[in-house]
Structure 1
Amino acid sequence: MIHPTAIIHPNAQLDEGVKVGAYSIIDEQVIIGRDTVIGDHVKISGKTIIGQRNKIYSFALEIGHDNVIREFCTFNIGTIDDGGVTRLGNHNWIMAYVHLAHDCQVGNHTTFANNASLAGHVHVDDWAILAGFSGVHQFCRVGAHSFIGISAVVTQDVPPFVTVAGNPTSPHGVNSEGMKRRGFSAEEIMAVKRAYKKLYRSSLSLEDAKIAIKELVAEYPKMESFLDFLLQPSSRGIMR
């Protein structure tokens, strides 16, 4: 159903079942997937592709499937410096006033609480949680299953499974509760805790910690993402 006050460009592509609320504006190059609901007073412009079954409230924009995006979120489009695309994956929960800056890459099943903000070129992996009023510096990476505490200011990469909090922000252990909810076994959680100790609670250098963690990966394959994260190039360095 398209509200009679909505303005939709003739060249915009709306799939079956799309609903557009009162006074919303859909510009020429927009593509909207099946059964997506656009609320009242929403303006969607630029080369925007929206997947299926999304719910978009006023002043919000997203890319992917089955996301929930609440009021007054702002998502900037990509720039020529980084491929030109800002991406949000699937099944994400984006609360009010969240900001995703240009060229951010957000995975699946993430949670952004109210007023969480990403600066440009930030990568957030699957199942990460950002608490309210947290912020992430440009070019940082946030690993899968990690947890960023309320009002934390992240200026370096956060490895998978790690909880960071405070301001200045620092590591505060493993997100074991999140791992339990995702179906990780007690043995796998313990292995991540062992890797955490190698990285944060020993006198090992980062390079020596990588070697020690590699030995754990041979026994617990699910930890491979932890090691891979540490081995990838980093613009900001690993938070320690």
Structure 2
Amino acid sequence: MSEATPVIHPTAIVDSAARLGRNVRIGPWSIVGPQVTLKDGVHLQSHVVVDGLTEVGEDTHVHPFAVLGGAPQHLAHKGEDTRLIIGARNQIREHVTMHTGTVSGGGETRVGNDCLFMVGSHVAHDAEVGNNVVMANNASIGGHVHVGDFVFLGGLCGVHQYVRIGRYSFVGGAAMVTKDVIPYGSVWGNHARLEGLNLVGLKRRGFSRDLINSMRTAYRMMFAPEGTFQERLDDVLENFSDIPQIVEIVQYIREDSNRPICLPDA
């Protein structure tokens, strides 16, 4: 047997139509459906189910009792072929669930690269998860949620359907998020409120002290009591037009969205 040949435990059930890349390993009692693609280096430990029209990216490691590619939890779904696309080098821990999309929602759920999905976390139909995202134990995102790159979702948090979570933001444990979270923001509570910038995350990701100070100044301007919100956003753009991260926050707030923006307490 060559190094590139998939290694499949004799108790695993792998449909002959499944597409397996080089160096794939499939452990005991795992099930792989006929429309599944496992790319090079994917490792399924024991008791993993991968079903539906699902693609798992290179070197992704899936731990026991995870279920990937199950049908969406949506009453309008009638068994249509919809997709789950998972990127490369993800760590998917025990009891994680990720569902395929719905026809009405675009037909595809998508997960990026280099993410960590801790025990029991859930990615619902038609969601889009960026790169380098961490979902802690039992964090759950609803249908059509968009999670940007480098987001951290705390344990037991729940994100309402259609909410956007901006990149580099932080959602605290057990938070219930019903409104959009600005990029670089930090929210927690039930329902979640904006508590400032994700300063710990920005420092860990190597943002400079000068950049963080500018972002804090812009944040205070955005949410000051004087003037209207739109006037304050205009002022921020006028004063910080040369700082892409601050421009990104303003543009994010002004984008069309199904949900309002998470705001600080008055």
TM-score (norm 1): 0.96
Tell me whether 1:190 sits opposite 2:213 in the alignment: yes
Structure 1 range deviating more: 200-209 or 45-54: 200-209
Provide the C-alpha distance between the structure 2 equivalents of 1:70 and 1:186, rounded to a whole number of angstroms: 35
Instruction: Specify the alignment match of 1:5 in structure 2.
Output: 11
Provide the C-alpha distance between the structure 1 equivalents of 2:111 and 2:228, rounded to a whole number of angstroms: 34
- How many residue pairs get aligned? The number is 240
Tell me whether 1:123 sits opposite 2:146 in the alignment: yes
Provide the C-alpha distance between the structure 1 equivalents of 2:192 and 2:147, rounded to a whole number of angstroms: 17
Tell me whether 1:18 sits opposite 2:24 in the alignment: yes
The answer to whether the Cα contact below 8 Å between 2:218 and 2:240 also exists between their aligned partners in 1 is no
Instruction: Specify the alignment match of 1:149 in structure 2.
Output: 172
The answer to whether the Cα contact below 8 Å between 2:178 and 2:191 also exists between their aligned partners in 1 is no
Describe the SS at the equivalent of 1:75.
strand
Tell me whether 1:139 sits opposite 2:162 in the alignment: yes
Describe the SS at the equivalent of 2:196.
strand
Instruction: Specify the alignment match of 1:107 in structure 2.
Output: 130
Runs of 4+ deviating beyond 4 Å: none
Provide the C-alpha distance between the structure 1 equivalents of 2:226 and 2:190, rounded to a whole number of angstroms: 24
User: 1:39/1:204 Cα in 2 relative to 1: closer, same or farther (>3 Å)?
Assistant: farther
Deviations 1:22-68 (A, max 9, x none): 01111111000101100111111110011100001123237000110
Structure 1: which 5+ residue stretches go unaligned? none
Q: Which has the higher helix share?
A: 1
The answer to whether the Cα contact below 8 Å between 1:51 and 1:65 also exists between their aligned partners in 2 is yes
Instruction: Specify the alignment match of 2:58 in structure 1.
Output: 52
Provide the C-alpha distance between the structure 2 equivalents of 1:170 and 1:46, rounded to a whole number of angstroms: 37
Deviations 1:181-211 (A, max 9, x none): 2121112111211222122233343322321
Instruction: Specify the alignment match of 2:78 in structure 1.
Output: none
Deviation of the 1:225 alpha carbon? 2.1
The answer to whether the Cα contact below 8 Å between 1:210 and 1:230 also exists between their aligned partners in 2 is no
The answer to whether the Cα contact below 8 Å between 1:29 and 1:47 also exists between their aligned partners in 2 is yes
Instruction: Specify the alignment match of 1:72 in structure 2.
Output: 95
Structure 2: which 5+ residue stretches go unaligned? 1-6, 69-84
Structure 1 range deviating more: 99-108 or 221-230: 221-230
User: 1:71/1:166 Cα in 2 relative to 1: closer, same or farther (>3 Å)?
Assistant: same
Q: Give aligned-pair identity as a percent.
A: 39
Q: Residue 44 of structure 2 aligns to which amino acid in structure 1?
A: I
Deviations 1:202-231 (A, max 9, x none): 334332232122124423223332122112
Provide the C-alpha distance between the structure 2 equivalents of 1:79 and 1:10, rounded to a whole number of angstroms: 26
CA RMSD of aligned residues (A): 1.3
The answer to whether the Cα contact below 8 Å between 1:161 and 1:192 also exists between their aligned partners in 2 is no
Instruction: Specify the alignment match of 1:173 in structure 2.
Output: 196
Describe the SS at the equivalent of 2:8.
coil
Instruction: Specify the alignment match of 2:4 in structure 1.
Output: none
User: 1:204/1:95 Cα in 2 relative to 1: closer, same or farther (>3 Å)?
Assistant: farther
Q: Residue 137 of structure 2 aligns to which amino acid in structure 1?
A: N
Provide the C-alpha distance between the structure 2 equivalents of 1:163 and 1:204, rounded to a whole number of angstroms: 24
